[in-house]
Amino acid sequence: MISRYLIDNIIEAASNLLRNKPRTLLTSLGIIIGISSVIILVAITNGAKTIIEEQLVSLGAKTIVLKPIGRTRSGVYRGMAQDFNQNELSLMKAMPTVESVSPIVKTSNQVSYRNKSQVVAVVGSNEDFARINDWPTESGDFINEMDVQDGARVCVLGASVQKRFFGAEDATSQSIRIDGISFKVIGTLTEKGLTPGGRDQDDFILIPFTSLNRWDYKGQLYGISNIIVSSTTTEDLEFTKFSIRKMLRETRGLLKDEFDNFEMVTYEKITRKILQTTNILKILLSAIASISLVVGGIGIMNIMLVSVTERTKEIGIRITIGAKSRDIVFQFLSESALIALFGGAVGIALGYFLSQLVSNFVGWPAIISTESIIIACLFSGFIGIFFGIYPAFKASRMDPIKAIRNEQ
């Protein structure tokens, strides 16, 4: 019974609105503009947020840098610190929330190729170095797991080293000498440029860390000075830190009252602040766009008041033949809600289409979530009902005698 009542009122409301199609379309224009603006801005800011998150991950948003430190029981730095070892490296790799583990061993050696000879920074690492640092090769290959296991005499050149020693010549498959030992160049890294502090990030040679230890130190296997760990996701970062700290303290036999002889450096605080700023920007832009929805709602209220004035005789007759106040209220609320929902539907479609065009212009994807569409529909319906309440109640409180006598 109730459902039939609702359907009849909605059909009647739609019929009334279709009598004057241009006015209905113009009335819903404010809602169309408001909803499409919200959809576009939310989609573009969602896309920007995704790009920012990807860039932050590539810059180390889910990485942990482990460094050895030396402290006394009182926490005072004592100088010599305990390096990491390969057993600790293997235990980290086995953790379920750890995606990649890259050891770092650094030194500087005399590097020569033909008649050129210079002291160059040499970094020992493994196959995960490129993945963690988002550093692909420009040409050739990167060191692989077998190279690390065998301690192979292979190397990958930073862009600055490649230019300095080889110029326009292809360095791949050539041989260079590091501290008098021949290493085969298997690839060159893409150029990253200078750091904000002015340091050249491309001025180094990368080799398997086992090769660096074995050949640079004449067979003596030295410890690992730093380790970079990447968690599976940014959400797993804190648990990964906890697991690594627990493991290192246990393997090193540290007592409860003893300080860590290592430190873990992460960038999640900076990442969190940047993402919070992005969310604030999205809320601010959505709020600005929502102003047009309010304007559209006021337009609906004005038109509904005009409609009440135009249809006073109709309202009076309906009340005289038995229509209750709630029937009149529901009729006009149905009309205002239909106008808003129509505007919302058109606004969503227009917003989706325009967001794709804007996406091509700004150069990043427009991500339209189901949540934003549902909110847009509900909000447009709310606007229609809210701004239709006053005209509806005004119509329901008319004196039927005066309404019937009204010549309008």
Tell me the C-alpha distance between 18 and 216, whole Å: 86
**CB distance 34 to 379 below 8 Å:** no
How far does Cα 394 stand from its chain's mean position?
Answer: 49
Give the pLDDT score at 242. Answer: 92
> pLDDT truncated to tens, each residue of the chain (408 aa)?
457 666 766 776 677 677 777 777 777 777 788 788 778 877 887 777 777 766 665 555 688 889 888 655 555 555 456 788 888 999 999 999 999 999 998 888 899 998 899 999 999 999 999 988 888 899 999 999 999 988 899 999 999 999 999 988 889 999 999 988 899 999 999 998 877 677 888 999 999 998 876 665 544 455 688 999 988 887 888 899 999 999 999 998 888 888 888 888 887 666 666 667 777 777 776 676 667 667 777 777 777 777 776 666 666 666 677 667 677 777 777 777 788 788 888 888 888 888 888 878 777 777 777 777 777 777 777 777 777 777 766 766 666 665 556 544
DSSP secondary-structure letter at 190?
P
Q: How many CB atoms lie within 10 A of CB 353?
A: 13
Backbone angles phi, psi at 15, to 5 degrees: -65, -45
The helix/strand/coil state of 31 is helix
Give the pLDDT score at 219. Answer: 45
Element (H, E) at 357: helix 325-362
* HEC sequence for 45-99: HHHHHHHHHHHHHHCCCCEEEEEECCECCCCCECCCCCCECHHHHHHHHCCCCEE
- Alpha helix ranges (H) inside 217-324: 237-251, 268-310, 312-320
Going by DSSP bridges, is the β-strand pair 205-208/63-68 parallel, antiparallel, or unpaired? Answer: unpaired
Look at residues 189, 194, 230 and name the one whose alpha carbon lies nearest to residue 60. 230
Give the pLDDT score at 407. Answer: 47
- Tokens 């230019």 correspond to 163
The helix/strand/coil state of 403 is helix
DSSP secondary-structure letter at 399?
-
pTM of the model: 0.58
Q: How many CB atoms lie within 10 A of CB 214?
A: 20
Give the pLDDT score at 408. Answer: 46
**Number of Cα atoms under 13 Å in the Cβ half of residue 182:** 5
Give the pLDDT score at 165. Answer: 93
**Number of Cα atoms under 13 Å in the Cβ half of residue 254:** 20
Catalogue the E-assigned strands of 90-178. 98-113, 116-125, 137-140, 154-157, 175-178
Residue 374 burial by Cβ neighbours in a 10 Å radius (0-12, 13-18, 19+) = exposed
